[in-house]
Amino acid sequence: MLFDTHAHYDDDQFDGDRETLLASLPEQGVGLVVNPGCTVASSRTAVELAHRFPHVYATVGIHPENCGDFRPEDLDAIRALAREDKVVAIGEIGLDYAGTVGREAQLRIFREQLDWAERLGKPVVLHCVKAFEAVMRELAPHALRAVIFHGFIGSSQQAAEAIKKGYYLSFGERTFRSPRTVEALRRTPVENLFAETDESDVPIEEIYRRIAQAKDLDPELLKCAIYRNYREIFER
């Protein structure tokens, strides 16, 4: 069974065939999907999709790129959604220092979401762009259930720092555009690894195949390892 750790099926690109596509995933061997939220609206949609499809789960959160339009009541809405049965994590949250939203606004909202992810006992799913050291500093005071760096495109050194803390790295189509990130993937133990489609049209099966090839690993062993990671984080 394939597990897609991070797939934005709430995105507009799926408006024409979302229902059909999601319904067909189990027939394609995709038994579990996590759809992340990035705003209150997309978090609500993620939760709605999770309630409609047994194999779909949701995360809820305010993405750093959306912190510029933040209203205090948005966090109240996210907190309420986080208590829904099929919400498995807080995310997509984090820091994006390549964007246009001010760093102070990003940090303030990131810190608030980390605080109540810890209180709720939920894992966090992170967006981290040109902010690895800052993200690691913000994570340090927290006893979080689990941390997943989604769409990891960092170096082997950064991967090693995250893994040393027990964090997880999720790799997708963008991984294979960068030799340094492919090297980070090769060095990441399967016990700390996930696979994702994100917003790519590359099927999750192909992502698994590329990861297995890069790591010189049997694809079936990779499937089993990632499913174990899923159960360790989301079912314990």
Q: In which band, very low, low, confident or very high, does the pLDDT at 205 lie, cut at 50, 70 and 90?
A: very high
As given in the structure block, the two tokens for residue 138 are 């913000």
pLDDT band at 235 (very low <50, low <70, confident <90, very high): confident
Strand partners, 223: none
Tens of pLDDT, residues 24-67: 999 999 999 999 999 999 999 999 999 999 999 999 999 999 99
Neighbours of 207 (CB within 10 A): 24
Of 31, 20, 84, 96, which Cα lies nearest the Cα of 58? 84
Chain-centre distance for alpha carbon 182: 18
pLDDT in tens, 7-17: 999 999 899 99
pLDDT tens, residue by residue, 207-225: 999 999 999 999 999 999 9
Q: What is the pLDDT of residues 99-155, one digit of tens each?
A: 999 999 999 999 999 999 999 999 999 999 999 999 999 999 999 999 999 999 999
Q: What is the pLDDT of residue 70?
A: 82
60 sits in the region (left: phi over 0; alpha: psi -120 to 50; else beta) called beta
pLDDT tens sequence across 73-102: 999 999 999 999 999 999 999 999 999 999
Task: Answer whether residue 236 shows pLDDT above 80.
Answer: no
Confidence of residue 230 (pLDDT cuts 50, 70, 90): very high
Q: Please give the mean pLDDT across all residues of the chain.
A: 96
Domain parsing of the chain, residue ranges: 2-235
CATH classification of 2-235 is 1.10.1060.10, yes or no? no
